[in-house]
Amino acid sequence: MKVRHSKGNSLKVAIGIDSADSLYGGCTTHALYRIFKRLYVKGFIDRLLDYPLLIRLNPAVPGKTRGNGAVALKLEVSENVAPDLLIEEVTDEVTSYVSRALGDVSKVGVAIVFGDPDNILYDIYLKALTDFVHLDYVKAVIDRVKGVMLPLGLSRGCVGALAAIGWRGTRCTYELLVYRHPLNAGKTERSVDVERLRSLDLIPEYTTFCSYDHENERDVSVPKGPDPILLGIRGLDPEKLVGTLSYLRFKEPIEGWIIFKTNQATGDHMIPRASVELKPFRTGCVAGRVEEVSVMVGGDVLLSVDDGYGRLRVVVFKETGLTRYASLLRRGDVVRFCGVVKAWSSLEPVLHVEYIEILDLATSYLRMNPKCPKCGKRMKSAGKGKGYKCPSCGFRSSNLTPETRILPRELSPGVYLPSCGSAKHLSIPEQLPIAGVDCVFREPRHVSDFYGL
């Protein structure tokens, strides 16, 4: 290990982790929390270079746990810390955490980067956010980049670990994660003050969102599984998130808490693509003319859209809350559909919509027979090419033309977003006033300002 400390006598390090969780327990954010705590307690940390990072990656990638999240910690370590020792501390903490929680360390990914992360790691982030990343691609990339270590070897988890290090967001949100005491995690029911959660987002000073799903009366910030998280509060300001801790009143002992900077609720995975590029497991938006709309039994809406490069099938599921708008779309409307692509049984790619932007509505006309110029009654056709006749007074004419009327549309152009109850991690929920804030790092005066270590 030949990494040297910089002239300022401190060394920049980024630690990325992914897949330290499973359906049976553990949590990747918690593993990072433990590493952070260990490095802090041992006095390794000279300076934090950013908030801890929590990124959500492509939700369409198969074989991932539900959240598809990865984490990173960026810091400067003191001059008396040998890089080898740092690597040992990190891998020891991760492997003991993962083997306690899961009993299997084969999937976990750990990446450590010394110095400033190469831009190519940002490319890995973008690819992992919007596409399926092959391990061969990752291997080729890291062979070319200096300072990248994969101390536990190359696994699927390394994709997320490197992506988390590579992320440099332009828009961010924050999440406060509170961890349960190890004696209770996975063993007892979570105990939180639901009334406080219900009112939290209604207090504007806290800048929180989606703490509670008022539409369906659900405490969406409280996980239900065996993982160690008591709750996760999302917000736009890290300092104000710390303030919610005293408001929330926990009814059980906690291990600690941490504030992450995240790409959640930014819609960053919705990149523009042509219909032909929307292959299975990719994310993106396609804008085009609606060709067909059909409402299925049960309420899901199936559409077909043509963007000039081809036709793409699009589905809007009822759970998104967007079918009430999608079912009102008509042939000729110009719409941007954003979502993730899945392969249906015929292996045909189908875009599963997360949100809709209506760009232009087609005008539809209602054609009616003219009114009788003599008595004002609605006339009838006198037969093909024979004009109209009045059923009331018998007047006939072949010079009259049909009346046309513009049909009113019950939709208007604009963006239609999912509500908190149905929005996925990366989607912008309709309750959020803006899609994230600038990602500026304000270095805390004390580590304890943002971290309950």
Cβ-based nearer residue to Zn ion, 375 or 415: 375
**Adjacent-strand bridge partners of 256:** 179
Q: Considering the complex, what minimum distance in angstroms separates the CB of residue 354 from Zn ion? A: 55
Q: How many residues belong to the site for Zn ion (CB under 5 A)?
A: 7
Q: Could you tell me which of 88, 110, 86 has the C-alpha nearest to residue 98? A: 110
Is the dihedral angle over the CA atoms 417, 419, 420, 421 positive or is it negative? negative
Cβ-based nearer residue to Zn ion, 381 or 448: 381
Cβ-based nearer residue to Zn ion, 153 or 402: 402
**Integer Cα distance of 64 and 132 in angstroms:** 12
Q: Considering the complex, what minimum distance in angstroms separates the CB of residue 388 from Zn ion? A: 10
Q: Considering the complex, what minimum distance in angstroms separates the CB of residue 402 from Zn ion? A: 16
**Integer Cα distance of 158 and 138 in angstroms:** 8
Q: Could you tell me which of 337, 334, 336 has the C-alpha nearest to residue 361? A: 334
Tell me which residues in 335-394 interact with Zn ion (CB under 5 A).
372, 374-375, 390, 392-393
Task: Pull the structure tokens for residue 38.
Answer: 């260990």
Q: Considering the complex, what minimum distance in angstroms separates the CB of residue 365 from Zn ion? A: 25
The residues, ordered by sequence, that sit 6+ positions from 11 with a Cβ below 8 Å of its Cβ are 3, 4, 5, 76, 77, 79, 81, 83, 114
Q: At what angle do helices 157-166 and 120-130 cross, to 10 degrees?
A: 120
**Binding flag, residue 161, Zn ion (CB under 5 A):** no
Q: Considering the complex, what minimum distance in angstroms separates the CB of residue 367 from Zn ion? A: 20
Cβ-based nearer residue to Zn ion, 393 or 415: 393
Q: Considering the complex, what minimum distance in angstroms separates the CB of residue 399 from Zn ion? A: 15
User: Pattern of binders to Zn ion over 169-208, x per CB under 5 A?
Assistant: ----------------------------------------
| Structural contact between residues 18 and 164, judged by C-beta atoms closer than 8 angstroms | yes
Cβ-based nearer residue to Zn ion, 124 or 390: 390
The footprint of Zn ion (CB under 5 A) covers 372, 374-375, 390, 392-393, 395
